[in-house]
Copies of this chain bind each other. A is one copy, B any other.
Amino acid sequence: VPGGAGQRRPNARSHKAILEATGQLLAEVGYGAMTMEGIAARAGVGKATVYRWWSSKAALAIDVLGENPSEPADEDTGDLRGDLVRTVERVIALLTRGLEGEIIPAMSADLVRDPAMAELFRTRIARPRRSSVTAILDRATARGELPKKLDVPLMLDACVGAIFYRLVISGEPVTDEMAGDLVDLLLDGARARTPKRRTARRRPAR
């Protein structure tokens, strides 16, 4: 258009203020009690500005969690069990003491309801964290410590799922001690898969 002028322009200051306000409110009142109204007020911003850039408070929370990686490198020591135990302990710490533990279960209702949100959550939060564990297992497989045909996603889901399920549903205590037990259980199960004579499952027989 020849006579046109004027363009869009997502104001950086507002953006930042909104994300900061969201982070503060998540920490202060939790995901459930956080409201879009409160975020806008805290950020000194109109509600419409919040809605213009994020479609829901789940989207906002995902953005905030995704910006704080809280996922240091996973230093590969070559000690498979040790690496895994340390990683699981970090997951436990995250879910019992970090923001994530408060927010993710509270947000799960929104994720189940809204597939697009769930996909965003997986892309920004779940998969990045998951990939570091996958790497450990892949390296072990490459070294021959674990069977090649191992179902890695299933192991991961069982591992993190056990912790998540305890926190949300079963209420069993989630302590650092469970990390070792869990890793042992799953690692032994994984190794049992090594030999080809799978029909006889009953003994490890390596």
Chain A residues in the interface with B (C-beta under 8 A)? 1-3, 6, 11-14, 30-32, 46, 49, 78-81, 102, 104-109, 111-113, 118-119, 121-122, 126, 130, 143-145, 151, 153-172, 178, 180-182, 184-193, 197-206
Contacts and interface: CB of A to CB of B under 8 A. Distances in A.
Nearest to A15: B2
23 contacts: A80-B204, A81-B205, A104-B169, A105-B108, A109-B109, A111-B168, A118-B171, A126-B170, A126-B171, A143-B206, A144-B206, A154-B182, A154-B185, A157-B172, A161-B163, A161-B166, A184-B192, A184-B205, A185-B193, A188-B189, A191-B192, A201-B206, A202-B203
Chain A: interface secondary structure? helix
B162 A154 contact: yes
A180 B192 CA distance: 15
Nearest to A202: B202
Nearest to A145: B205
Contact of A202 (B109, B155, B184): B184
Contacts of A168: 108, 111-112, 164
A197 B188 contact: no
Nearest to A140: B204
Given A112-B106, A202-B191, A204-B78, A185 B3 contact: no
Contacts of A151: 181, 185
B185 A190 contact: yes
Given A153-B170, A154-B162, A165-B164, A205 B204 contact: no
A192 B6 CA distance: 60
A134 to B, nearest CB: 12
Given A121-B169, A145-B204, 11 more contacts: A105-B112, A130-B170, A156-B170, A157-B162, A157-B165, A160-B169, A188-B191, A191-B203, A192-B192, A197-B200, A202-B205
